[in-house]
Amino acid sequence: MRMEYLDPRAWMNGILADFNCQTGTLHRADEAGQMLSLVAQVGVPAFLVERISKIPFGKGIAGVAAATREPVELCNLQQDLGGIAKPDAQKTQVSGSLAVPVFSKESGKVIGTLGVGMVEPHEFSEAEKERLKAVAESIAPWLESQQPAK
């Protein structure tokens, strides 16, 4: 696939099919490494798209994945007792959720996050986490070529 011609929404649909998920997001970090901006999404209810269009590092599932540089998983987003998910996240009707950071191949800096979610509660296996991290690694050059949010 020629990355410069990537249709992020079509790409995301392929990832969701591969992971048997119904929702997905791809965010790009700003240059300061403090805010994530939505690049692509599939399956997120329209009334929530604006709310997830900007996410501070450390807030919500994607923001925590960016801040910690580690995958963040919630087996059941509807019963998140750890307080990681934002309250509006429950309105997505998603239960099982996984977000991973996307790293720059050159600098190792977090340049974004990739997240997937499914309607049913689901504990993602280590193999699934590694697969999503590999997908994030494969999208890194394309994401890095996109204009970062200011």
CA pair distance 61, 86, nearest whole angstrom: 8
Q: Which two tokens stand for residue 141?
A: 């050059």
Tell me, what CATH number does 67's domain have?
3.30.450.40
Total structural domains within the chain: 1
> Which has the closest alpha carbon to 117: 81, 136, 90?
90
3 assigned to some structural domain:
no
53 assigned to some structural domain:
yes
pTM across the whole model: 0.85
pLDDT score for 9:
86
Backbone angles phi, psi at 132, to 5 degrees: -70, -35
Domain of 26 in residue numbering reads as 8-145
pLDDT in tens, 33-90: 999 999 999 998 888 899 899 999 999 889 999 999 999 987 544 444 455 554 555 5
Q: Which two tokens stand for residue 105?
A: 């191949």
pLDDT in tens, 111-128: 999 999 888 888 899 999
> Which has the closest alpha carbon to 57: 95, 97, 9, 111?
111
